[in-house]
Amino acid sequence: MRAYVLSRLAQTALVVVLSLTAVFGMVRLSGDPVLLFMPMDIQAKDVNEFRQRLGFNDPLAVQYARFMGGAVRGDFGESLRYRSDALGLVLERLPATLLLGGTALGLTLVLAIPLGVVSAVRRDSLFDHAATVATVLGQATPGFWLGLMLIYLFSVQLRWLPTGGTGTLAHLVMPSVVLAAFFAARIARLTRSAVLEVLGEDYVLTARAKGLAETRVIAKHALRNSAIPIITLAGLEAGQLLGGAVITETIFAWPGLGRLTVQALLNRDFPVVLAAVFLISVMYTLINLAVDLLYGWLDPRVRLRA
């Protein structure tokens, strides 16, 4: 078990190094980085001075070594726009994204799992059909458009909720609903099919035959055994929530990691982009590791090997 976790952590490090290398390569190979970093109206002698100061006159290998050496120590350089430590800026925005993502994930699970289970248990009922329509629509509705429509309805027309920003619980409502909608639809569909599959198994028949109450059969036997695919998807989705947060945070002016990344990309503030890439790929791989460890706990047959 410990060997497994250690080897997975080593893999995480490898993945992070490779994704940083890829982004570093793209930034450096896509033209003169100084011109990318600098404003349009800069003088030629200033360009040369900057090139010298930022070390872009050195061979690529030296630049790469310097960048990686810095990255290991958490030093991605200074933000070109805010003139402060890039990783510090990114970390400062992390709590807001975790709050939004956590709320959305909670909302997703609370909505989607009961919906999926009831749909499966009452297969082909009116409830099941209504739930199917809702989840199919939910999957097809783009989050950013749903966000615009909710702003129109609840902020412009009804004036119940703020259009964006942060501070109160009311600010959290629309962003987390938008972020949760798509994932809830996917997880509800998967829960339904996973539970349906398990309900046909012999041990469910046995549990029913020995006279267990139906709620106990569902909760103890069916749900626990259909948990693996649900957890797998929820884990993958938890990672994708980070991607969804990019869009949701931008629409609702939520001061999180995603909005910062979008602004840094628009401003060509590459130290911040690289720091954000670093943090996002670390979080993503750690979430996946947590999911794999959950398997072992849920299903003792799964032996985790290095």
Partner 1 sequence: MRHLKAWLGIGLTAATLVAAAAAPWLAPHDPLRADFAQSLRPPGTPGHLLGTDQLGRDLLARVLHGARLALFIGACTVLITAVGGGLLGLVAGFAERWPSAVLMRIADVQLSFPFILLAMTINAITGLGLRNIILSLSAAGWVVYARVVRGEVLSVKQRDYVQAAAALGMSRARVLFRHVLPNVAPSIVVVASLQFSQFIVAEAAISFLGFGVQPPTPAWGSMLSESRDFLYVAWWLAAFPGVALALTALGVNLLGDWLRDTLDPKLRV
148 binds partner 1 (CB under 8 A): yes
141 binds partner 1 (CB under 8 A): yes
Neighbour tally for 301: CB within 10 Å: 7
> Rounded CA gap, 244 and 241, in Å?
5
Q: Are 47 and 35 in contact (CB under 8 A)?
A: yes
Beta-ladder partners of 85: 78
Stretch that binds partner 1, among 92-100, 150-158, 203-211, 290-298 (CB under 8 A): 150-158
Q: Are 50 and 35 in contact (CB under 8 A)?
A: no
Site string for partner 1, 5-44 (x = CB under 8 A): ------x--xxx-xx--xx--xx--x--------------
229 binds partner 1 (CB under 8 A): yes
Query: Using CB under 8 A, which of 223, 247, 275, 279 touches partner 1?
Result: 247
CB nearer to partner 1: pick between 96 and 217 = 96
165 binds partner 1 (CB under 8 A): no
Q: For tokens 């994930």, what's the residue?
A: 105
285 binds partner 1 (CB under 8 A): yes
98 binds partner 1 (CB under 8 A): no
User: CB-side exposure of 24: number of CA atoms within 13 Å?
Assistant: 21
Structure tokens at 183: 């994932």
CB nearer to partner 1: pick between 166 and 267 = 267
End-to-end CA distance of the chain: 8
142 binds partner 1 (CB under 8 A): yes
Query: Using CB under 8 A, which of 3, 13, 42, 137 touches partner 1?
Result: 137
Residue 222 beta carbon to partner 1: minimum distance, rounded to whole angstroms: 19
**Which of 113, 112, 161, 119 is CA-nearest to residue 139?**
112
279 binds partner 1 (CB under 8 A): no
Query: Using CB under 8 A, which of 5, 58, 88, 239 touches partner 1?
Result: 239
For partner 1 (CB under 8 A), the number of binding residues is 50
64 binds partner 1 (CB under 8 A): no
Residues that bind partner 1 (CB under 8 A): 11, 14-16, 18-19, 22-23, 26-27, 30, 124, 129, 132, 136-137, 139-145, 148-149, 151-152, 156, 229, 239-240, 242-244, 246-247, 250-251, 261-262, 265-266, 268, 273, 277, 280-281, 284-285, 288
